[in-house]
Chains A and B, each alone.
Chain A
Amino acid sequence: EAQVTQNPRYLITVTGKKLTVTCSQNMNHEYMSWYRQDPGLGLRQIYYSMNVEVTDKGDVPEGYKVSRKEKRNFPLILESPSPNQTSLYFCASSSIETYEQYFGPGTRLTVT
């Protein structure tokens, strides 16, 4: 089954404790992206990647890191999480031919 998976789905952590949210897709998509969704603000892009070893900043990259060492994986790293990073995070992928983005199920992160 074609899908984008994210882990963990739910995470509660404390300020300053480094964490990684994994994202993996099995569709051989070139493009992958991370978004955060907050009430009233819609979806905001954090980082995106057009292919392996190619990453670019989106609208709200501060406080986040990403890497794209393999085509299928695109982890999101929070080196020192803060409460304002409490949010719902989505990973998405698409083929650069169709542009249709497939979203993962989301990761709800709470930073206390």
Chain B
Amino acid sequence: QQPVQSPQAVILREGEDAVINCSSSKALYSVHWYRQKHGEAPVFLMILLKGGEQKGHDKISASFNEKKQQSSLYLTASQLSYSGTYFCGTEIDSGYALNFGKGTSLLVTP
């Protein structure tokens, strides 16, 4: 039930854009996105609910394609502070277990 994330790793130059994908083999109720910096705890970015709108803040946004059981995280004009590992978490229904992907390592270089 673990969602599949792609790519596994990406290296960007500051100012470039990136897309991280998350796909599930099951129909989804929600998709959660978190970022974890080295040696720290994961930090919430956003959640997308079935039937809900695309969410985003600042230069990070995400979409949720319910039919394809996929979500994508868009990082626009990346900053050095965006470096870290990004995890998507998926729920098949409200109140159920949250399954995280293995993560996508993102490195933004000057």
A42-B103, A59-B99 in contact; A105/B41 too (CB < 8 A)?
A: yes
> Which residue from B30, B44, B100, B103 sits with its C-beta under 8 Å from A45?
B100
Inter-chain contacts of A41 with B (CB < 8 A) = 102
Interface flag for B65 (CB, 8 Å): no
Q: Is A43 interfacial (CB-CB < 8 Å)?
A: yes
**Contacting residue for A43 out of B1, B42, B47, CB 8 A:** B42
B89 smallest CB distance to A (angstroms):
8
Cβ-defined contact, A101 with B44, below 8 A: yes
Min CB gap A9→B, angstroms: 12
A90 and B41 contact, Cβ closer than 8 Å, known pairs A33-B98, A45-B99, A57-B97 = yes
Q: Is A50 engaged at the interface, CB distance under 8 Å to the other chain? A: yes
Task: Tell me how many residues of B have a C-beta within 8 Å of chain A.
Answer: 20
List B contacts of A33 (CB < 8 A).
98
- Interface flag for B2 (CB, 8 Å): yes
Interface contacts beyond A59-B1, A102-B44, A103-B42: sample of 5 additional A-B pairs, CB < 8 Å, sorted by A: A33-B98, A41-B102, A59-B99, A99-B30, A103-B41
- Residues of A participating in the B interface, judged by any CB pair closer than 8 Å: 33, 35, 40-45, 48, 50, 56-59, 90, 99-106
8 A-B pairs closest in CB distance? A103-B41, A42-B102, A43-B100, A100-B44, A58-B97, A99-B47, A42-B103, A42-B100
Interchain Cβ contacts under 8 Å between A and B, 8 examples? A42-B2, A43-B89, A43-B103, A59-B97, A99-B30, A101-B42, A102-B44, A103-B42
